[in-house]
């Protein structure tokens, strides 16, 4: 199976499995999505979705958020981990949104990535899921599966993103990256992986990698 055939198999398989792709993080607008994505770093979506209602009840917009202290934010988001860094980031980006962007989350990568605690992956999620701009956020699931499927060399997430954008049609990026995440969680996890259950990897994966399992 050549690379083009692999890509087509992945697209068809994932579309059959996940015809709809709800966004895993609960939010109501670009700002609350941005905060939720920031909190999701090294934390499960399930835990984030338990914490954000508590935080957003106190502050679901930048103006209310900066009325809280960094310590108050840190205490609320503590269960999400990395709370000292994340609380400073939430406060800092909220202040920047007010001072530099008229209270609205900017709709471009450059401004988003200028925010504290916001990297390219977080910015990509916001651009994709909040604004519908074609992007391909690469999380650990996508990085792992792209390598298992032989579609990237696994060197780093930057290379994986470039390969994904090169191989898959731009018009499906926003849906496909969520489909891959769902598949990774359900069929191809990092731990407790069962190649018999992971039918995509079994069909198109790296032969040398599969034989090790």
Residues classed as catalytic? 121, 139
Task: Return the DSSP state at 2.
Answer: -
- Name the nearest CA neighbour of 25 among 168, 135, 122, 141: 122
**What's the start-to-end Cα distance of the chain, in Å?**
21
Pairwise CA distance, residues 150 & 168, whole Å: 14
Token pair 């009325």 in the structure block, residue: 67
| Biggest CA pair distance of the chain | 57
| 175 neighbors 137 (Cβ within 8 angstroms) | no
Pairwise CA distance, residues 30 & 9, whole Å: 33
């Amino acid at each position: 199976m050549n690379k083009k055939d692999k890509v087509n198999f992945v697209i068809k398989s994932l579309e059959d499995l996940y015809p709809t792709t709800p966004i895993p993080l609960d939010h109501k607008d670009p700002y609350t999505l941005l905060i939720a994505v920031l909190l999701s770093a090294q934390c499960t979506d399930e835990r984030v979705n338990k914490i954000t209602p508590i935080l957003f009840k106190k502050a679901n917009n930048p103006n209310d958020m900066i009325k809280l202290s960094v310590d108050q934010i840190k205490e609320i988001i503590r269960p999400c981990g990395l709370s000292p860094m994340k609380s400073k980031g939430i406060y800092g980006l909220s202040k920047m949104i007010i001072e530099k962007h008229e209270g609205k989350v900017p709709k471009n990568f450059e401004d988003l990535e200028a925010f504290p605690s916001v990297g390219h992956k977080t910015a990509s999620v916001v651009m994709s899921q909040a604004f519908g701009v074609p992007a391909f956020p690469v999380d650990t699931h996508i990085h792992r599966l792209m390598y298992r499927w032989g579609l990237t060399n696994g060197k780093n997430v930057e290379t994986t993103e470039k390969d994904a954008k090169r191989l898959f049609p731009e018009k499906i990026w926003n849906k496909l990256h969520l489909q891959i995440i769902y598949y990774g969680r359900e069929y191809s996890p990092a731990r407790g992986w069962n190649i018999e259950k992971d039918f995509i990897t079994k069909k198109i994966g790296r032969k040398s990698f599969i034989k090790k399992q």
